[in-house]
Homo-oligomer: A and B are copies of this chain.
Amino acid sequence: MRAPMFTGLSAFPLSPLRNDAFDERAYAGLIGRLVLAGVDSITALGSTGSYMYFDRDERRQVARAAVQHADSVPVMVGIGALRTSQVRMLADDAQEAGASAVLLAPVTYQALSDDEVFGLFEDVTAGLSVPLVVYDNPGTTHVTFAEDLYSRIATLPHVASIKIPGVPADPGEAAARVRSIRERVPGAVSVGVSGDGSAAAGLSAGCDVWYSVIGGTLPAPALRITRAALSGDHAAAAEESARLQPLWALFAEHGSYRVTAAIAEHLGLVAADCLPRPVQGLGTAARTRVAQLIDELDLAD
C-alpha cells in the first residue's frame, strides 16, 4: 500500500528571505496557511523553498520551523547537496528536526553517470530512518532519469515516492507514461507529478500525489484540482486547471519560482525581494501582470 503521506497535495512553500536572512516569521505564516487549508503534506526546502541556496544552519532552522508550525501535517524536508557526505548530514539534521520524510534530488556540478546517481541514493538511503522521495527535477539538476534508473532506485530501502516532471498533455499519453513508470517500480512506491500546469493531467492519469509549487502559496486552487482529480472528477480538475492557464503561462515565461515569489510578495505574505540573490524577482511589467491575475482569477483568499 502507498502511504497516505505520499498521496494528495504536497505543498512546497517558499523559504522567504528578508534582507538576505531567513524570515522565520513570514515562513510560519506560510505554513499556517497550508495547515488551515488542509494540504496533505508540506515539503519544506524543495526547489521552491530555495534549499540549494541555504547553508546547513539555515536549513536546520527552516526544517525546525516547518515541523513546529505544521501541527499534525506531515513535513518532508529536501536534503539535496552536491556531496554525498553533506547529504547524509542534512538527512540527519532533517530527521532530528522531526521530518516525516526526506526529498532528494541528485544535484550536479560535474555531470553524474547513472551509476553515480544510483550510488548517491544507495549511500543516503542506507543511513535513513524515514521514507525518501526521489526528486526528478531535470531543469535544475541537469540529470535525466531513464525509467530504468527509477526502477533501480525504487527498490532501495526507504524509497516511498518518485516526483516525476510534468506528463504529456494528451490524456492517453499521460496515462501510458504513468503506467510505464508503475510497471518498473514496486507497488508501494507512490508516483507524484510536478510541473503545476500538468498536475490535473498527471493526477487524472494515475499519479498519487501532486508535488506542487503553487500549492505552497495558494493552497485553495491546488486543493480543488487535487480533490477533483483524485475523486475521479477529471473534468472538474481539468476545468480548474484550464481556468488557471494564464498563471501556467506566466510560469512558463518566468519560471514558477519567481512568479510564486511575486505572488507571495504581492499578497504581503513575505517581504519584498524574498528570493536569494543573484536570483532577482520579476520586473515591473510582470509584477503588474501577476497582480492582475490574482484579481482576475480570484486567488487572493
Contacts and interface: CB of A to CB of B under 8 A. Distances in A.
Interface of A: 20, 47, 52-53, 55-56, 82-86, 106-107, 109-113, 115-117, 119-120, 123, 139-140, 142, 255, 257, 276-280
Given A83-B53, A276-B83, A255 B111 contact: yes
B84 A52 contact: no
A110 B47 contact: yes
A109 B140 contact: yes
A52 B278 contact: no
A110 B113 CA distance: 21
Number of copies: 2
B55 A86 contact: yes
B278 A119 contact: yes
Nearest to A52: B109
A107 B56 CA distance: 19
A278 B109 contact: no
Contacts of A56: 55
Contacts of A255: 110-111
Nearest to A56: B55
29 contacts: A52-B82, A53-B82, A53-B83, A55-B55, A55-B56, A55-B86, A82-B276, A83-B276, A83-B278, A84-B276, A84-B277, A84-B278, A85-B277, A106-B278, A110-B255, A110-B279, A111-B139, A111-B255, A112-B279, A115-B280, A116-B280, A117-B278, A119-B277, A119-B278, A119-B280, A120-B277, A120-B278, A123-B278, A142-B142
A86 B47 CA distance: 18
Nearest to A51: B109
Nearest to A109: B52
A255 B20 CA distance: 36
A17 to B, nearest CB: 10
A120 to B, nearest CB: 4
A279 B85 CA distance: 12
Question: For A84, A117, A119, A277, which residue has the most chain B Cβ atoms within 10 angstroms?
Answer: A277
Contacts of A280: 113, 115-116, 119
Contacts of A53: 82-83, 109
